[in-house]
Structure 1
Amino acid sequence: MVYPAGALPFGSQGTATLFLDDVRISTNVRLFGDGHGGSGEARAIGTRVSQAVRAAVLEQGRPWLGRAFVVNDWYVSGYQPLLDAGGQRVGMLYVGFLEQPYRWLKWGVLAGIGVLFFGVMIVAAIGSSRLARRIFRPIEQMDHTMQQVEAGALQARVGAVASGDELGALAGHLDRLLEALAERNQRLQQWNTELDAKVAQRGAALAAAQQQLLRSEKMATVGQLTASIAHEVNNPIAVIQGNLDLVRELLGADAQRVAGELRLVDEQIERMRLIVTQLLQFARPNEYAGYVEPVDTARALDDSLVLVKHLLVSTRIEVRRALQASRPVGINRQELQQVLVNLIVNAIHAMPEGGTLRLATSDWADAQGRAGVRIEVSDSGPGLDEGLLGELFQPFVTRKKDGTGLGLWISRGIVERYGGDIVASNRPGGGAAMCVLLLCEPGLTTSQVAQASAGPPQAA
């Protein structure tokens, strides 16, 4: 009646017992573990209840509920006191069911919870790993990029990342920062290059200024010296010339016997006067400066060739012209002719066995854009020694046995008075080249010179 078949889950079986006092007088509890319920001699009739239950139920008169060891197993039990007609406690009613199936259920539930817990942990670990991978992959990309940048690969970038959260934004910020750093680094390199160029330019200008100052000081010193020498040499020249004239007068007709010697003395006196004149021309250039006029360089070269024609006749030198200059230069005609004759004579002397004398002109402009003409006098001789190139325009420097070493020095001084220069070099195919750089008019650019050469527009 209390526990019909199927009333308890998990195969648990219910029991019931009537106690007279504390002795079982009717029960389905078995004495041995061969089953519960039903009938048979194996019932635990006559067994007694525990002292704890007796005290609570029979002596104190209250129900007892709890876990109790009945005969040979644990039961979930309940004991209720039984009263007679006079209200006296005469026995107990016991009902209970076997605890073992529920214990198994408890351990099964605990095992299930454990399995579920570990399963959740495994799933959480896998999910966390994947999530962590998503988190760490952008960080690893950024770390790898920074290592590349530290190694010198300034163009390395993080690039696009799968994460669109704060890490993706951080990767984008890092790329923009690297772009800004690369741009600033490029600007710094550009500024450094410009600074180096400016320093080199200023250094070259300073070196040129120092060279010019040293040259001016040397020229001033040499000018004073040459002026003194020219003054002192003029007096004995005049005495020699006067006595030579006196000798001719005293000898009369007998002077014809020594006419060759006297002519040789006259030539040497004239040469000494020319040297003195060149020295004075260098010492006081302003006193010897001529009238400045527009000079056709092609005509000046032709006139110079006429003056050296006697030297060309006795040589096997071919003269080649390449006169392409389209504008005149501003210089004194006689002084330009003096410079050109000096350069042509030097070129002829450099080719005693014959060769090619090349005369060329072309339009030219200096670094400030001022218009000018470039005149080149070149030969096919042995060329200039490297040691001589650096000292070629210094006074008294020459490689000719009978030379004074003043020709190029004076020529360069003449050209420099008009804002030009003379540059010496060796030709790639052999021989030396002297380039005379002259301005059309200081302060005018090539376009202004072209407009001036064209003249004012004519009226229609």
Structure 2
Amino acid sequence: MPEPARPLSRSVRHKLLAIALLPVLVILPVFLGATMHQWSLKLDRLLLVKVNSDLTVAQQYLGRILETTGERIEMLARSEEFARTADPAALLDSHRDRLGLDYLYLARPDGRVVASSPQGIRPAPPRDAASARNTLEVFDRDQLRALSPALAARAEMERPGNPAAGRAPVETRGMVAQSLVLARLPGSGAEAVLVGGILLNRNLSVIDSINALIYRPESLPEGSHGTTSLFLGDMRIATNVTVPGGVRALGTRASAAVRERVIGQGQVWLDRARVLDDWYVSAYAPLADGAGRTIGMIYVGILERPFAEARRRTVGWVLVGFLCVALVTVPLFLRWARGIFRPLERIGATFERVRSGNLAARTGISRGDDEIAELALALDGVLAQLQDHDRRMRAWNDELNRRVDERTAALRRAAQQLETATYQLVQSEKLAALGEISAGIAHEVNNPLAVIQGNLDVLREVLGKAAAPAETELRLIDEQVQRISRIVAQLLDFARTDQTAEEHPLSDPGRAVADCVPLVAHMLARSSVSLRRDIRSDRPARISRIALQQVLVNLIVNAVHAMPRGGEIRILVQDQDRDGAAGVMLQVSDQGEGIPPEVLKRLFEPFVTSRGRSGGTGLGLSICRRLVERQGGSIAASSDAGGSTFRIWLPAA
């Protein structure tokens, strides 16, 4: 018999109303408020992260200007044109504009100028002429005039708003990006320094380049813009910040808080700051001269006003949306709450039993008086289907597990068979090719060598003492014949495979590298590729000599193919321990075109090659990895546009 329906008490209705209205009138506002607060904080953090990133880019750009200037001046100092010039002053004149420098001069270490551009430079001796330096320096008016009166005039800048003696004070110092490079005087070869620099005061091209690099069009929301400035002390000497009227705010000063933090304490400012009349999300970093003294600041910032307006608009729209939702949903909740009845509790209890794993649970409702009762009956039907489906799924799962186990075992066997077949195929190809080559070399080279050697001995016997004048030439013939014999012997040794299966393999990596050179000498010569060996280890490695030769020859051949226009291959051998185990590291580097990233990830898999359809089989590196890992070693590769490097680590024998 079904249980009789019980009327809901007022307390239940009140609880139901509270449950219905609490999410809309309390939880939702709190959630929206917390969400908007977190969103606002995250927006502020994102803006700070962006300006911090922008500051890093600006610092790197400024540092790159110094490095590039130094590199270009050093290239000039090391050039053949500089070493042989008869008129250094004319040479400096021709290069100063091309290098974008404001001054360029050649001086002795004591400061005496040998040649300069512009003419007549009388600089003070550099603080440290013993080494090349790329630094920011601050020059006073006299130092700038000694370099060029035009530079001194360009550096002068009024400070608005600070009247003194009836007129605004003038800043006469200048910030210079200066590079000092050691050089030799043309002709005499005596020690000298080549010094060049760029005045950053009023250098708007540098600021505009930094700003264009950081704040590209459409990188900021409409209404916002980014600004960049260079400061000498706390005064702007180059900036794209403008005052009303569109004039750049040269000579204006940073705020006192920024000045104290950055100039006074030498720390980075990363916060909102007032720039002239507006607030900016700002980042300031100190700039130091060659002696490590703080001489100024570099600044980047984003106008804050558009973001604040967008934040206010967003909050307003969220509030409007919440009010609309509340006006629509609260009356509906009040109406629906009056229709809730007892079967709902049974449905909840049934769900709890099902959640605990009892799929046989049912609501017990047998009559559908209304929609909720019908829902309960439908739930019972669904639970019955679910129980039956669960039973069938368990049976299917058992069958699927059995089939997966069978298929996994079959795939494992197939993979092992494929690996064995691949290895045997490669070895068969290699043995066939090398056997044929070795036999031909043994027959075609050794026989003529024997004839040459025999006739040489007969020639010595016949000539007797008369051969003494040609003894040097005869000895050279002997040596070359022996060298050809050794090359043939090394090629035949390389063709053998029995040494790769030695029970206790041992080889000298340096000797293995030397033995590989005759095998690849013809490819190196034909491709205009040089091979440089750097052997720093005499520790024996746990691998057979022939296996190691096979790995090295494969890597050298790949490197030659990667440098169709020539270059250099470097082989470095050095001791290296890993996890407490002694070992040897062999590093093969080339200056080729690099390996595409998608190929590099699968480079050591069989049949993977970076040479396209006309390249190799894609099996060489897979075999190299197998030969190295068989002895407990490892092989890895890295590549970029400047070439590729393969690193082979082998345990010590």
Task: Compute the TM-score of the two structures, normalised by the length of structure 1.
Answer: 0.37
Larger radius of gyration: 1
